[in-house]
Amino acid sequence: MSGKIVAAIEIGSQDVKVLVGEIFEDSNLNIIGRSQVPSAGVAKGRVINFRDASDRVGEALDLAETSAGANIESAYLAVSGSHLEGISHPARTRVRGQDNRVTAADVERVNAEAKGKEIAPERLYIHFIRNHYLLDGRYVENPVGLEGEELGVTYWLLHGNSRSVAEHIHVVNSQNIKVEDVIVSSVASACMVASDEEKKSGCLVIDLGRGTTDYAFYHRGCIVRTGSIPVGGEHVTNDLSVGLRVVRESAEDLKIRHGAATVLEEDKGRTHHLYGDLKIGDKSLYASSINRVIEVRMEELFELIRDECGANELKNGAVNTLLTGGGSRLTRCTELAERVFGVPARFAENPDWVADELRGAEYSTSLGVLHYALQGQTDKRVTPVARRKPEGVVKRFSRLFKA
Amino acid sequence: MTMSDQTEHSPTKSSVCLVGVGGGALRVLDRYRREGTGQVDFIGFDTDARELERYPDFPSTRLGRSLLRGLGCGGDDEMGRLAADSDRSQISEALVGYDLVVLVGCLGRGFASGALPAITALAGETGSPTVAIVSSPFEFEGRRPASVAKKALGEIRRGADCVIELPNDLIFQESGESDRADQLFESSDEWIFRAVSALVGPLYRRGHMGVDLATFRNALKGGESRMHFSTCLVPLDGCVEEAAREIYNCPFRSPGLERVKADRLIVSIGSGGGLSVAAFSELSQALTRLFDSGESAVIGFWVDESLGDQVEVTIFARTDLSANVRSRLPEKVTVHRSKLDQKSVRKTRDRIQTEFDTLLEHNERGLFGRMNVEAYNGVDLDKPTFLRRGIKISMPKS
């Protein structure tokens, strides 16, 4: 094997996923192995039991190496959790170039200023996501060579709690695997499931996980906002368990078999059986009750996202909503999203070129991470000014961790 | 007695210790010494030398000598805490070996807010059951005393077995507009004094049905719980209705609780001698009904002629919060011999499920019950949405 072997690791509340890819000629990626084991020791994007988390990651890495038939040399890690925050930071500068033509130096200067915001010492920048340049108030993709007086740019600066990030890295390091870089899950999954047209016309990508829900908002091809809400599929299960007074396992089963995100007229009066075997312990439950519990929870979740992005910005900026992640498999989830966001919604999977077994929404984050890893390789050859990634993803910051 | 040499107990040591922290509390202690019943040990703590000199009749300890050189804390609760910390060994030495430690303090103004949490914790460490009786500041005193008191109260709750809080604002609301200002402050002191004497008094009064220290200690023992304390003094005529109302309106009663289900209830009824049998039985039944605890109530009755035509009623209730509540004494179940030969006897009625059980705070969060509350923009998102929005979930009748 000639290429470099890299792994994408996603440590979720539900399971640990590892995808192994081989990068050859620095521009092509083949996925050669994968593994998925149930997770432990992680809740809501935080490590709560190091030992358990480390064991499960080790198990997943072993399986992935066996399936790939190769040794994993380095890994890219997806992080999520409510400790991640973003700030929109604009900067402006006068164009200094001759005849008011923007030069590379102008661009570099304005970029540096927009990225130079200071954050609290315990916080750590994870991504610098650049939005469009504004040249005298109009959007331009690449300002170099254009004429104008004032050049502006806005960056979405994503930062996280350094301790929480370090905990995740430590879990992987404990298995003797070097972490090359960390990537925020919402960014990784969004760049995977949204098509280029959707990114250009504007869309909101929501990744419904088990413990957290991540979202990324694309506007004119760039990510202008990301976020993470500490609510996921587990909360829906918990609500059902409390509301219908059933144990967690039954609640999870009810959610998968009968649950839906909206209450329909025909749900009223209809009943479902808890187990369906009609033995002692089985009880009947109203379909409307089950769906009502789910509906209010999901509605609240979508409303939180809508309020964070700004209802007006969404209406003007997003053409549709893409739902991904395991939680999006809930029946009529898209209908509810349409109702809350006021734009069409669809269930999003990975693009066609991905192998069938990886097409499912649950692999979008891992694939996005590998995709990112590939870009990390190709980036080295382009000049800083021309480095504009189609997805709007990113500046590397791995050197912060290599120390 | 001078204030400095009195940290040791006399050889005939009492089993109850009344501790006053700060100026307000010393006033209450002094009054109890003059008017209260029983052989109780008193200990006063303050940093202000002049304040302590005012009460030469009971032992007191000046804290933070090196820190404040005999001055007060000047409203700085941090100073109070430092003063208590600097004399930790002295404090624990003074509090060791009692069967019950009652701590009194007026929170919000410096010393007591800083020192009382520390002293409570030290008293708890000695192993004696501790009860803290505190007053929280009036609203007109400003926002800072309120926040200082709130913080202190939280710390005291962690250290003490039971906290009885008197929100001074309730007294303010009940006072008339033309009432004199000094009456307002006196009435606050008066309520604290009544709480102390209602708590400690029955332990010493000779009663026909005694509520002794052991009963009281038993009630304090156990896991996570919420305590309710309430006391009232009502005229003999119509005492049943009056007592039920007054117990409900008592300023010590935990606010916001319409109905309390007590897992353990101590009712102490004192009379001047004129209480009839019918009235006594009616009164005790009414009170146990009020707290929904017929089986676990302990009724005490004592006579003190100084009460005259009045009846004093004190309620001490405990509601267990931990989920696996087991009754202290298993109920006797009559089982037929043949059933005993079977594998296991099914317990009847282990615990009565009430309508409100699922709505207890820690149950509401379900699987996340034991996880830390991490509020997201001030909302606990782990708690089911339908509960927060008050949406009723209907269930088919089985």
Contact status, residue A205 vs residue A218, Cβ threshold 8 Å:
yes
Which residues from chain B sit within 8 angstroms of residue A263, using beta carbons? none
Which residues from chain B sit within 8 angstroms of residue A244, using beta carbons? 393, 395
CB proximity list for B387: less than 8 A, separation 6 or greater: A242, A243, B359, B364
Determine how many CB atoms are found less than 10 A away from the CB of residue B224.
Answer: 10
Domain locations along chain A? 85-160, 195-347
* Residues B386, A292: C-beta atoms closer than 8 Å: yes
Contact status, residue A204 vs residue A226, Cβ threshold 8 Å:
no
Angle, helix A248-258 to helix A233-243, in steps of 10 degrees? 110
Q: Is A285 on the interface with B (CB under 8 A)?
A: yes
* Residues A293, B386: C-beta atoms closer than 8 Å: yes
Q: CB-CB: which of A238, A289, A300 is closest to B394?
A: A289
Smallest CA–CA distance from A43 into chain B, residue: B371
* Residues A286, B381: C-beta atoms closer than 8 Å: no
- Condensed to tens digits (0 to 9), the pLDDT of residues A244-300 reads 888 888 889 889 989 999 998 888 878 888 777 666 667 788 888 899 999 999 999
In percent, the amount of chain B with pLDDT more than 90 equals 1
Both structure tokens of A303: 């409303």
* Residues B398, A231: C-beta atoms closer than 8 Å: no
Q: How far apart are CA B212 and CA B354, in angstroms?
A: 31
- Dump the DSSP string for A261-328: SS--GGGTT-EEESSSS-STT--EEEHHHHHHHHHHHHHHHHHHHHHHH-HHHHHHH-SEEEEESGGG
Determine how many CB atoms are found less than 10 A away from the CB of residue A38.
Answer: 10
Determine how many CB atoms are found less than 10 A away from the CB of residue A161.
Answer: 18
Cα–Cα distances in angstroms (integers) from residue A45 to residues A48, A214, A360, B213, B335, in the given order? 9, 11, 21, 51, 53
Work out the pLDDT band at B255, boundaries 50, 70, 90: low
What is the per-residue pLDDT for B342?
A: 52
What is the per-residue pLDDT for B61?
A: 85
Q: Is A292 on the interface with B (CB under 8 A)?
A: yes
Q: How far apart are CA B98 and CA B22, in angstroms?
A: 21
Q: How far apart are CA B77 and CA B81, in angstroms?
A: 6
Work out the pLDDT band at B325, boundaries 50, 70, 90: very low
Q: Is B292 on the interface with A (CB under 8 A)?
A: no
Both structure tokens of B149: 């008191």
What is the per-residue pLDDT for B57?
A: 83
Q: Is B89 on the interface with A (CB under 8 A)?
A: no
Smallest CA–CA distance from B377 into chain A, residue: A304
- Model pTM? 0.53
Smallest CA–CA distance from B384 into chain A, residue: A239
Both structure tokens of A123: 């916080």
End-to-end CA distance of chain A, in Å?
Answer: 29
What is the per-residue pLDDT for B11?
A: 45
User: How far is A248 from chain B, CA to nearest CA, in Å?
Assistant: 8
- Among B376, B381, B394, the strongest candidate for a mutation testing the A interface, having the largest count of A CBs within 10 A, is B381
What is the per-residue pLDDT for B8?
A: 43
Which residues from chain A sit within 8 angstroms of residue B393, using beta carbons? 243-244, 289, 292-293
Which residues from chain B sit within 8 angstroms of residue A44, using beta carbons? 374
CB proximity list for B94: less than 8 A, separation 6 or greater: B7, B9, B43, B61
Q: How far apart are CA B324 and CA B347, in angstroms?
A: 15
User: How far is B346 from chain A, CA to nearest CA, in Å?
Assistant: 17
Tell me: pLDDT of B292 over 80. no
What is the per-residue pLDDT for B269?
A: 86
Mean pLDDT (whole number) for B290-316: 78
Q: How far apart are CA A181 and CA A152, in angstroms?
A: 29
What is the per-residue pLDDT for B341?
A: 56
- Condensed to tens digits (0 to 9), the pLDDT of residues B131-149 reads 888 888 887 787 888 888 8
- Condensed to tens digits (0 to 9), the pLDDT of residues A178-232 reads 888 888 888 888 888 888 888 888 899 999 888 889 899 988 888 888 888 889 9
Q: Is A270 on the interface with B (CB under 8 A)?
A: no
What is the per-residue pLDDT for A381?
A: 31
User: How far is B352 from chain A, CA to nearest CA, in Å?
Assistant: 17
State CA B386 to chain mean position distance.
35
- Condensed to tens digits (0 to 9), the pLDDT of residues A108-160 reads 999 888 888 888 888 888 888 888 888 888 888 888 888 888 999 988 888 88
User: How far is A338 from chain B, CA to nearest CA, in Å?
Assistant: 20
Tell me: pLDDT of A98 over 50. yes
Determine how many CB atoms are found less than 10 A away from the CB of residue B125.
Answer: 14
Which residues from chain B sit within 8 angstroms of residue A235, using beta carbons? 381-382, 384
Work out the pLDDT band at B156, boundaries 50, 70, 90: confident
Nearest to A129 by CA among A191, A198, A81, A45: A191
Smallest CA–CA distance from B373 into chain A, residue: A230
Q: Give me chain A's average pLDDT, please.
A: 83
Q: Give me chain B's average pLDDT, please.
A: 75
Q: Is B386 on the interface with A (CB under 8 A)?
A: yes
Work out the pLDDT band at B313, boundaries 50, 70, 90: confident
Nearest to B7 by CA among B88, B120, B121, B126: B88
Which residues from chain B sit within 8 angstroms of residue A271, using beta carbons? 396
Mean pLDDT (whole number) for B165-179: 75
User: How far is B385 from chain A, CA to nearest CA, in Å?
Assistant: 5
Q: Is B367 on the interface with A (CB under 8 A)?
A: yes
Q: Is B382 on the interface with A (CB under 8 A)?
A: yes
- Among A42, A82, A295, A296, the strongest candidate for a mutation testing the B interface, having the largest count of B CBs within 10 A, is A296
Cα–Cα distances in angstroms (integers) from residue B344 to residues A5, B148, B334, B347, B389, in the given order? 61, 55, 14, 9, 44
Q: How far apart are CA B84 and CA B94, in angstroms?
A: 13
Mean pLDDT (whole number) for B172-181: 73
- Condensed to tens digits (0 to 9), the pLDDT of residues B191-245 reads 888 888 888 877 777 666 667 777 777 777 666 667 777 888 888 888 888 887 7
User: How far is B376 from chain A, CA to nearest CA, in Å?
Assistant: 8
User: How far is A398 from chain B, CA to nearest CA, in Å?
Assistant: 30
Domain A85-160 has CATH 1.10.3720.10: no
* Residues B367, A230: C-beta atoms closer than 8 Å: no
Q: CB-CB: which of A241, A244, A271 is closest to B367?
A: A241
Tell me: pLDDT of A165 over 70. yes
Strand partners, B233: B312
- Among A239, A300, A306, the strongest candidate for a mutation testing the B interface, having the largest count of B CBs within 10 A, is A239
Q: What is the CATH number of domain A195-347?
A: 3.30.420.40
Question: Comparing A401 with B129, which gets the higher pLDDT?
Answer: B129
Q: CB-CB: which of A44, A285, A300 is closest to B385?
A: A300
* Residues A292, B391: C-beta atoms closer than 8 Å: yes
* Residues B386, A239: C-beta atoms closer than 8 Å: yes
Work out the pLDDT band at B7, boundaries 50, 70, 90: very low
Which residues from chain A sit within 8 angstroms of residue B367, using beta carbons? 234, 237-238, 241, 248
Q: Which of B14-18, B244-248, B385-389 has the lowest mean pLDDT?
A: B244-248
Contact status, residue A34 vs residue A17, Cβ threshold 8 Å:
yes
Mean pLDDT (whole number) for B315-333: 60
What is the per-residue pLDDT for A64?
A: 92
- Condensed to tens digits (0 to 9), the pLDDT of residues B100-120 reads 889 999 888 788 888 888 888
Q: Which domains does chain B have, with CATH numbers?
A: 16-204 (3.40.50.1440), 218-320 (3.30.1330.20)
Smallest CA–CA distance from B367 into chain A, residue: A238
Tell me: pLDDT of A389 over 50. no
Q: CB-CB: which of A231, A283, A297 is closest to B398?
A: A283
Which residues from chain B sit within 8 angstroms of residue A84, using beta carbons? none
Determine how many CB atoms are found less than 10 A away from the CB of residue B63.
Answer: 28
- Among A235, A273, A288, A299, the strongest candidate for a mutation testing the B interface, having the largest count of B CBs within 10 A, is A235
* Residues B387, A296: C-beta atoms closer than 8 Å: no
Phi (first) and psi of residue A322, to 5 degrees: -110, 130
Q: How far apart are CA B123 and CA B85, in angstroms?
A: 13
In percent, the amount of chain A with pLDDT more than 90 equals 19
User: How far is A365 from chain B, CA to nearest CA, in Å?
Assistant: 24
* Residues A237, B367: C-beta atoms closer than 8 Å: yes
Question: How many contacts (CB atoms, under 8 Å) link A and B?
Answer: 72
Restricting to A residues 220-259, those with a Cβ less than 8 Å away from any Cβ of B are 229-231, 234-235, 237-239, 241-245, 248
Question: Comparing A380 with A302, which gets the higher pLDDT?
Answer: A302
Contact status, residue B247 vs residue B233, Cβ threshold 8 Å:
no
Q: How far apart are CA A355 and CA A370, in angstroms?
A: 14
